[in-house]
């Protein structure tokens, strides 16, 4: 059974048995944690214990160069070396700045594509993946969690939202703890850069009668079953 199909089953198991459920999948027990405080306890306080990865099955060993890539390697010297190399050589702020040229180039490609699509008057199909984990939906943390309210991340104290969850986990789209996505800064920079520019340059309108439908579909990653359709119009003549 794929991880995706098991999700509704897990949701009902959590509702019945509480935020921690253990299932035997294959030969190993698999523990599922649905509570953000337990996740914080495991990933931040017990960080070193839970930063390891299990031995891979034969097919995964081939795909992961026998677990010699950063995401599947054991928590040890190989992982530390790969992580340090990636963080210092690729993801360091000074390197990220040096990709400005590539970012502008990609933005230009997107802009050209959208301009010709806008001219043709066709709706465009966009695919957005939402990391919709149970923790990000907690109504005790988020007022009206399913509502689109980007202003919820702005607070009057001028403090920015801590996406790393180091003090407390309120959502964890990049994971948390020692194996947290090392590229979350780059990912957020790129998301902000492209979204801001594309909204600045184009007016986006929903196609009549089409609402945002968050039903999911499993592909290589989880994608929208019914992709957004938008009518776009260049703002600057």
Q: What does DSSP assign to residue 183?
A: T
Nearest to 210 by CA among 224, 192, 223: 224
> Hey, which residues between 4 and 23 contact ligand HEM (CB under 6 A)?
none
Shortest Å, Cβ 180 to ligand HEM: 6
Residue 42 within binding range of ligand HEM, rule CB under 6 A: no
Quickly count: other Cβ atoms within 10 Å of residue 232's Cβ.
20
Shortest Å, Cβ 190 to ligand HEM: 7
Binding residue (CB under 6 A) for ligand HEM from 70, 118, 189, 198: 70
DSSP calls for 16-77: HH-SEEEEEETTEEEEEE--HHHHHIIIIITTTGGG--PPPPHHHHHHTTTT-STTTS-TTH
Residue 131 within binding range of ligand HEM, rule CB under 6 A: yes
Choice between 37 and 71, CB closer to ligand HEM: 71
Residue 166 within binding range of ligand HEM, rule CB under 6 A: no
Residue 180 within binding range of ligand HEM, rule CB under 6 A: yes
How far apart (Å, rounded) are the C-alpha atoms in residues 94 and 61?
34
Choice between 83 and 201, CB closer to ligand HEM: 83
Residue 32 within binding range of ligand HEM, rule CB under 6 A: no
Choice between 82 and 124, CB closer to ligand HEM: 82
- CB burial of 185-219 (b: ≥16 within 10 Å; e: otherwise) equals ebeebeeeeeeeebeebbeeeeeeeeeeeeeeeee
Shortest Å, Cβ 205 to ligand HEM: 25
Shortest Å, Cβ 235 to ligand HEM: 26
Binding residue (CB under 6 A) for ligand HEM from 6, 13, 21, 183: 183
How far apart (Å, rounded) are the C-alpha atoms in residues 89 and 59?
30
Shortest Å, Cβ 15 to ligand HEM: 24
The partner residues of 218 in beta bridges, in order of sequence, read 222
The dihedrals phi and psi of 160, each to the nearest 5 degrees, come to: -85, 155
Residue 165 within binding range of ligand HEM, rule CB under 6 A: no
The partner residues of 231 in beta bridges, in order of sequence, read 205
Binding mask 185-204 for ligand HEM (x = CB under 6 A): -xx-----------------
Indicate the pairing of strand 216-218 with strand 28-33.
Answer: unpaired
Positions that interact with ligand HEM (CB under 6 A)? 70-71, 83, 86, 131, 173-175, 179-183, 186-187
């Amino acid at each position: 059974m794929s991880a995706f199909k098991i999700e509704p089953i897990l949701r009902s198991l959590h509702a019945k048995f509480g935020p921690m459920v253990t299932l035997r999948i294959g030969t190993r027990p698999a523990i599922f944690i649905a509570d953000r405080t337990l996740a914080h306890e495991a990933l931040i306080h017990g960080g070193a214990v839970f930063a390891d990865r299990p031995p891979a099955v034969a097919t995964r060993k081939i795909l992961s160069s026998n677990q010699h890539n950063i995401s599947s390697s054991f928590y040890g010297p190989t992982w530390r070396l790969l992580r340090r190399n990636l963080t210092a050589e690729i993801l360091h702020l000074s390197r990220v700045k040096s990709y400005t040229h590539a970012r502008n180039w990609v933005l230009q490609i997107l802009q050209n594509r959208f301009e010709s699509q806008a001219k043709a008057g066709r709706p465009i199909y966009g695919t957005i993946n939402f990391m919709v984990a149970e923790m990000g939906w907690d109504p005790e943390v988020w007022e009206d969690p399913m509502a689109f309210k980007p202003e919820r991340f702005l607070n009057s104290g001028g403090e920015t939202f801590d996406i790393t969850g180091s003090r407390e986990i309120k959502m964890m789209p990049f994971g948390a703890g020692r194996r947290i996505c090392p590229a979350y800064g780059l990912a957020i920079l790129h998301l902000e850069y492209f979204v801001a520019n594309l909204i600045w340059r184009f007016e986006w309108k929903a196609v009549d009668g089409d609402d945002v439908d968050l039903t999911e579909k499993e592909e290589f990653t989880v994608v929208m079953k019914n992709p957004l359709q938008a009518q776009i119009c260049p703002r600057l003549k």
